[in-house]
Amino acid sequence: MITLSDIESAADRIADAVIRTPLLPARWADAERPLWIKPENLQPIGAFKIRGAFNAVGNLAESERARGVVAYSSGNHAQAVAYAAAAYGIAAHIVMPEETPAVKVQATRDHGAHVILCGAGEREKVAAEVLEQTGGVLIPPFDHPDVIAGQGTIGLEIADDLPEVDNVLVPVSGGGLASGIGTAIKARCPAAKVFGVEPELAADTTEGLRRGERVDWSIEHRNRTIADGLRSQPSALTFAHLQQVIDGMITVSENEIRTAVRELALRAHLVSEPSGAVALAAYRQKRTPPGRTVIILSGGNVEPSTLADIMAG
């Protein structure tokens, strides 16, 4: 299990690479639950993933790092690893499914990464081949202590900026973000409650935490949600963290997610991807205890057509 000290080391390691995002007061919110937004969509790659990737790459021994890094991802983790590799001047090989939108492939290449496209369901096999060929190191999207510690730096910043925080609402997919933030908040603000948020259509962690063990929802089932960044499931490592640090789970509907994207754009002037807006959607249900509340806006990489569609209402 990661500790506060791991997260503090991560904060030192990534300080020059990430934006120290401000905590933005949302004065249009519920008076009983004063609201602040942590806008991780403002990071250089448009998502919090840069924190974990940068910490993991930065914490490799120099001899390991020199061999380059490998990742498989269709989403923000791909760009995060590519970005971190470029910053360290090492090679990055990113395995992406053939159906990945062209703009995301291009964005990853723009950071100087080698992109290897693969068939559906083949990405782990292809990544293994690339690891073999390149001798590089795999940087997983959430199942790694350094990745979790990197995401946890968000929790440190919240504790610094709003030590009297009462509630923190965090999107949950593979669970790295919530594990890291939860660990930092429980250590620094022990009275605060940490809530995980999932789409109703990908609520495997909600069910798993209730049962006390991980459950498996089919990928066809999870793929139905518009929140394409929240379709993963925790690993044993992240699930163990979540069991320790999560006080409750909240699920949100597809309509609630769309409304939250719209509200973030029009009231907070921030563009969120659907996955990034679930914490606001959960906040709007008013099911958390009254008190000072922070939501994590985890990313802003939305397809133009999706954003246009949501803004049209």
* Torsion angles phi and psi, residue 293, rounded to 5: -120, 135
Interface with a copy of itself, residue 102, by CB under 8 A: no
Are 54 and 18 contacting, i.e. CB atoms less than 8 angstroms apart?
A: yes
Task: Say whether 298 is catalytic.
Answer: yes
At 278, the amino acid letter reads V
Task: For strands 35-39 and 24-26, give the pairing.
Answer: antiparallel
CA torsion sign, 270 to 274 to 280 to 281? positive
Q: Quick one: which of 42, 66, 116, 240 contacts a copy of itself (CB under 8 A)?
A: 42
Interface with a copy of itself, residue 44, by CB under 8 A: yes
Task: Work out how close the CB of 45 gets to a copy of itself at its nearest, in angstroms, rounded to a whole number.
Answer: 8
Tell me 173's DSSP state: S
Neighbouring-strand partners of residue 25:
36
Interface with a copy of itself, residue 270, by CB under 8 A: yes
38, 49, 104, 193: the catalytic one is 49
Task: Work out how close the CB of 243 gets to a copy of itself at its nearest, in angstroms, rounded to a whole number.
Answer: 33
Site string for a copy of itself, 136-175 (x = CB under 8 A): ----------------------------------------
Interface with a copy of itself, residue 311, by CB under 8 A: yes
Task: Say whether 104 is catalytic.
Answer: no
What is each CA distance from 188 to 162, 198, 308, in whole angstroms?
11, 25, 40
At 21, the amino acid letter reads T
Q: Can you read off the two tokens belonging to residue 86?
A: 């470029």
Q: How far apart, in whole angstroms, are the C-alpha atoms of residue 58 and residue 64?
A: 11
At 28, the amino acid letter reads W
Q: Quick one: which of 1, 5, 15, 25 contacts a copy of itself (CB under 8 A)?
A: 25
Q: How many residues bind a copy of itself (CB under 8 A)?
A: 31
Which residues have a catalytic role annotated? 49, 298
Binding site for a copy of itself (CB under 8 A): 19-22, 24-25, 27-28, 39, 41-42, 44, 46, 110, 262, 265-266, 268-272, 300-302, 304, 307-308, 311-313
